[in-house]
Amino acid sequence: MRRTQWRVTGTVVSAALTLYLSQYFSPAQVLSVTTRLVEVRVIAQNKQGEPVADLTRDDFTLLDEGHPQRISFFRIEASQKAPITAPHLPPDVFSNRVEALSTGATAILFDGLNTKFADQAYARQQILKFLLRLNGQERVALYVMGRGPRVLQDFTSDSTALVNAMASYKGGTSASLEAPLYDPAVTGAAHWESWLGELSFGLYDYYGDDRAFRTIRALIAIANHLEPLPGRKNLIWVSGSFPISLGWSSFPAARKVAVGDREAWPEFERAARALNRANLAIYPVDARGLMAAQNYVGSITRPELRNPDTSEFANMQMLAERTGGRAFYNNNDLTAALRRAADDSRLVYVLGYYPAHKDWKGRFHRITVQLKRLDVELNYRHGYFAQPDEPTESWYRERALDTALWSPVDAAALGLTVAVRSAAAGGLDLALQLGPRDIALQHKQDKWECHLDIWLVQLDNKEHQLKTDARTNNLALDEATYERVMQANGLMVLEHVNPSAEALLLRILVRDVASGALGSLTVPLRRLTQK
């Protein structure tokens, strides 16, 4: 993997390039304050599973490690019916932005990576059955995970589109979970056609053959993709195996854990941050269905049911409890599990508090929510990792960007729109518009400052990394420039690329050093250079 030396530069904001994009996007306000706010989204339902809508702030008691906390703010999120749409883009303008106009989103992850082929057919049938019964108002997205994550169908209330997308998917892996994942029969040309689908060459080389690392990074990618959507998001993870856990009591303890020859804790640490930032509740659904008890195994003829591996039930339960979802296992009615998970978005109570403790060293803090009424059942995340600010060391930043580089799912935590124009000598000028809500602009000595890591990565048709321009841009805007930039839709960064003759794709990644917000997207160079 080839990479150039990082450079530290300043940024010139071009008024002409700002005007070029301003006609396509509406102004946005800046949010630049970092706080130790903890949000707890609470599902309150009666014994029949229906939402309870008449609770007030005074009905709740919230405890952090057993210590009562003051509920600083309280609101109710009811599932809205407004569409989630992408902005209309002119030619040669690319974006990872989504106009988030609604709350209450449900995403389904069909996991072929960790599910035996024999169980995939039944799981697919159950998902299709669920999709056919959507009421026309629910917004659902479909992800699949084979060699890597893939957006099969973005959020829509069109049941037909979802069914067609699921029915057309050909499956994610081989019949054996231990079989090699690399398929030498896949050509570079074939891979180019599925770039926004599942990577086969570069993803295999980068991730290796370890499914736990692949799974962690897939969850990070999905969380980063969903983060801009408002409110609670439910991820229904249909899988035959759950090889990861959020069971450590602290990330210092997790530092001792290794997978193969690599430390696992940075991956888990980033996963915990991504899930928390995205307000993503995980609903693990076991695709294996009903499993026989040990006292019945003697009469079972299917070998895989003679000694069922139920050890991962604890992992499923832990994932659900620590993110606010529910775990479903040992049940053949997967459709009912999908329906129960989707219904949790109908009405959510949001409790926000500022923890009184000063312990921000990664230890897990248990949350308890109590209610005065006894006829109401509550579901919420049972704690959080009290993590310090995101590390700013170069090795951590590089690993986060490297992971996003090979993800087929664009990161959207940092809104990114890129206008591409031809330049002299076959080069390309790039105007990067950055969503101001997503950048931690800090006011220091009459300046507005932020620090951005930017990677411009050229790839050929076999995902070989031809050239990488990696730099850190240190922005310092005076008050007048700051006001002009905000009125013109946010920050604009000017970059230049000289594409290699073999380059087919340009991966653009921007990460805010202070907040960790990351945006990525892909530009097809061949289409641009052939004009």
The CATH number linked to 274 is: 3.40.50.410
Residue 419 lies in a domain: yes
Proportion of the chain above pLDDT 90, given as a percent: 33
Residues 335 and 447 in one domain: no
For residue 243, the enclosing domain spans 104-344
For residue 495, pLDDT beyond 80: yes
If you ran DSSP here, which 8-state letter would residue 247 be given?
-
DSSP category for residue 493:
E
Does some domain include residue 157? yes
Instruction: Establish if 71 belongs to a structural domain.
Output: no
Three-state DSSP class for residue 206: helix
Q: Which runs of consecutive H residues, i.e. helices, occur in 133-257?
A: 159-168, 188-193, 201-207, 211-226, 251-254
> 506 and 457 in contact (C-beta within 8 Å)?
yes
Query: Do 182 and 311 lie in a common domain?
Result: yes
Note whether 182 and 258 are same-domain residues.
Answer: yes
459 CB neighbour count, 10 Å cutoff:
25
- Is 153 inside a domain boundary? yes
Of 312, 344, 376, the position where a domain reaches its end is 344
| In-domain check, residue 290 | yes
Task: Tell me what the mean pLDDT of segment 274-290 comes to.
Answer: 90
Residue owning tokens 């409890």:
321
Instruction: Look at residues 200, 99, 199, 73 and name the one whose alpha carbon lies nearest to residue 154.
Output: 99
Residues 458 and 323 in one domain: no
Same-domain status, 184 and 259: yes
Tell which wins on pLDDT, 163 or 104: 163
Same structural domain, 329 and 410: no
**Domain total for the chain?**
2
Residue 7's pLDDT band, with cuts at 50, 70 and 90, is very low
CATH code of the domain in which 524 resides: 2.60.40.2150
Strand partners, 150: 144
% of the chain exceeding 70 in pLDDT = 73
Reduce the DSSP state of residue 317 to 3 states and report it: helix
- DSSP H/E element including 194: none
Q: Bigger pLDDT: 132 or 208? A: 132
Q: Which of 299, 319, 344 is the last residue of a domain?
A: 344
In a domain, 70, yes or no: no
In terms of Cβ atoms closer than 10 Å to its own Cβ (0-12, 13-18, 19+), residue 159 is: middle
Verify that 210 and 288 share a domain, yes or no: yes
Q: How far is CA 170 from CA 197, 462, 469, 484, in A?
A: 12, 22, 37, 50
Whether 218 and 310 map to the same domain: the answer is: yes
State whether 108 and 14 are in the same domain: no
Q: d(Cα 42, Cα 13) in Å, to the nearest integer? A: 43
| Cα distance between residue 31 and residue 321, in whole Å | 30
Verify that 409 and 330 share a domain, yes or no: no
Q: Can you tell me whether residue 521 is helix, strand or coil?
A: strand
Residue 208: pLDDT over 80? no
Sorted by sequence, the CB contacts under 8 Å of residue 215 that are 6+ apart come out as: 111, 113, 114, 145, 243, 244
Only one residue has tokens 């736990």, namely 212
Provide the residue type at 481 as one letter: T
Place of tokens 């009615």: 333
Residue 320 has pLDDT above 50, yes or no: yes
Alpha helices in 389-501 (DSSP H): 394-405, 479-487
Residues 6+ apart with CB under 8 A from 508: 416, 418, 430, 432, 454, 455, 456, 457, 520, 521, 522, 523
Half-sphere exposure of residue 370: CA atoms within 13 angstroms, side-chain side: 9
Q: What digits encode the pLDDT tens for the residues 26-81?
A: 333 332 333 589 999 999 999 998 999 999 999 999 999 999 999 999 999 887 65
Question: Are residues 404 and 331 part of one domain?
Answer: no
Rounded to two decimals, the pTM is 0.77
User: For residue 350, is it within any domain?
Assistant: no
Interatomic CA distance for residues 191 and 199, integer angstroms: 7
| 313 and 164 co-located in one domain | yes
Residue 58 lies in a domain: no
Phi then psi for 450, rounded to 5 degrees? -160, 165
Spell out the SS3 assignment of 142-171.
EEEECCCEEEEEEEECCHHHHHHHHHHCCC
**Residue located via tokens 């696992």:** 264
Q: In whole angstroms, what is the distance from residue 352 CA to residue 342 CA?
A: 24
- Per the CB < 8 A criterion, the answer to whether 517 and 469 are in contact is no
At residue 452, the pLDDT reads 94
Tens-digit pLDDT profile for residues 431-478: 999 877 788 888 888 898 989 999 999 998 777 889 999 999 998 888
Amino acid of residue 152: L
